[in-house]
Amino acid sequence: MSSNVTLSAATRQNLLSLQDTAALTSTTQNRLATGKKVSSALDNPVNFFTAQALNSRTGDLGSLLDGISNGIQTIQAANTGITSIQKLTDQAKSITSQALATQLNTSGTASSTFTAAAGTVSFYVNGEPKSATLTATDSIDTAIATLNTAAGSTIFSKDTSGTKLVLNASSDVEFKAATDQAALGFAGGTGTKADYYGAGLDTIGKSGDLVVTGVDTRKALAEQFNSILTQIDQLAKDASFNGVNLLSSDDAGNKLTIQFNEKNTANLSVQGVDVTSTGLDLTSLNSTSGTAVVANNTNRGNFLLDADVKATAKELSGATDSLRSKASTFGSNLSVVQNRQDFTKHLINVLDTGAANLTDANLNEEAANSQALTTRQSLGISALSLANQAQQGVLQLLR
């Protein structure tokens, strides 16, 4: 005896239609839930694997963006450091201008009457050694002429009484020993100032008869200059980002390499520079290695010589030119990196859009499909009910 239920052809057709509708409804609901029309290789192998490759490249480029962003910040840190060092250099320039504007002067009248005596008087004019040989028969006028000839300018004269020497010089005049001061009638100074103008150039303490102006001021300005050089060195060492400092050294190994694509076939290497005081060829005024205008005068630390001050100002001008050149290079590199950053962002957007076009579902369309399938399912159920009405009529006769 057969256990199969016999269904009419209309009923079977309606059931098949309902099954198809249910399958389509399931597919539509899955697309609405995931937002994807291709969520696995079974849906569409070509689109699925193509989109996967595009998304993989997007991920690679996204990782590179972090490195590019760090590179931008590193270059900006270097550029900020150069800008600040330039301000310090400008400040140092103003110090040299003040030093040049500060006039040196040594003046005073001997407290004792000039008495001729044979001997050599040794003194310095702004560090340049001078010597005048006097005789026991020299008059005060003869001694003055000899002293001025040795000094190279008219700095000695006599007072109104005609018996005492007067010193008036637009420079720092120092005597080598107290005996040199006494030979001209000036009160002897005390205490030796060793290496005052450099190695081996000792001077005696200033005579009480003489007044010197400008030396201490220039010395203070020189100390300020040295302090600024220290600040330049410290600032250059502090201008780092994420452990990378592009201002502390110009060694070949000190460079920043920024990768632009996933295969590293496109990149940019930014060479570090040395903008410390040494790298900028700025000479510390405490150093004895500075270029001395006067023979044996290596004491640039006191800014006594206008020529030395001008030499320092020239170094600062060269440093300024160097800083501007380096800043221009960093600015150019920064522009390149920022351009590649924008390009990479736009390329990621293109890749994401391409992958989405291959796999993303049209939610508006799927929503309309869902509504249509719901209506279709309701109609299918109604049609199945109508197909069964004939059998219901037979059931009524049996009753």
- Please give the share of the chain, as a percent, with pLDDT higher than 70: 81
Q: What is the pLDDT of residues 99-153, one digit of tens each?
A: 999 999 999 999 999 998 999 999 999 888 999 999 999 999 999 999 999 999 9
- Please give the share of the chain, as a percent, with pLDDT higher than 90: 55
Residue type, 311: A
Name the least confident of 9-13, 85-89, 235-239, 395-399.
395-399
Q: What is the DSSP string of 91-125?
A: HHHHHHHHHHHS--EEEEE-SS------EEEEEEE
Closest alpha carbon to 162 in 110, 106, 105: 110
Q: For domain 58-102+217-353, say whether CATH 2.60.40.10 is its number.
A: no
Instruction: Give the integer Cα–Cα distance in Å for 75 and 340.
Output: 14
Q: Give the pLDDT band of residue 296 (cuts 50, 70, 90).
A: very low
- Rounded to an integer, the average pLDDT of 355-376 is 72
Instruction: Give the integer Cα–Cα distance in Å for 386 and 320.
Output: 97
Q: What is the pLDDT of residue 295?
A: 38
Q: What is the pLDDT of residue 106?
A: 95
| Domains of the chain, residue spans | 58-102+217-353, 105-213
Instruction: Give the integer Cα–Cα distance in Å for 174 and 186.
Output: 12
- 137-145: list long-range contacts, CB under 8 Å, 24+ apart: 140/114, 140/165, 143/114, 143/116, 143/184
Q: Give the pLDDT band of residue 288 (cuts 50, 70, 90).
A: very low
Q: What is the pLDDT of residue 286?
A: 61
Q: What is the pLDDT of residues 36-85, one digit of tens each?
A: 777 777 777 888 788 888 888 888 888 899 999 999 999 999 999 999 99
Instruction: Give the integer Cα–Cα distance in Å for 306 and 120.
Output: 28
User: What Cα–Cα distance (Å) separates residue 242 from each residue in 70, 171, 238?
Assistant: 8, 52, 11
Q: What is the pLDDT of residues 183-206, one digit of tens each?
A: 999 999 999 988 787 778 889 999
Instruction: Give the integer Cα–Cα distance in Å for 206 and 186.
Output: 10
DSSP three-state, residue 144: helix
Q: What is the mean pLDDT of the chain?
A: 85
Q: SS3 for 6-26, per residue?
A: CCCHHHHHHHHHHHHHHHHHH
Q: Maximum distance among all alpha carbons in the chain?
A: 171
List the alpha helices (DSSP H) in the chain.
Answer: 9-34, 45-101, 140-151, 178-183, 215-238, 306-359, 363-387, 389-398
Looking from the CA of 201 toward its CB, the CA atoms found within 13 Å total 19
Name the least confident of 21-30, 60-69, 262-271, 313-322.
21-30
Q: Give the pLDDT band of residue 298 (cuts 50, 70, 90).
A: very low
Residues in the chain: 399
Instruction: Give the integer Cα–Cα distance in Å for 308 and 93.
Output: 13
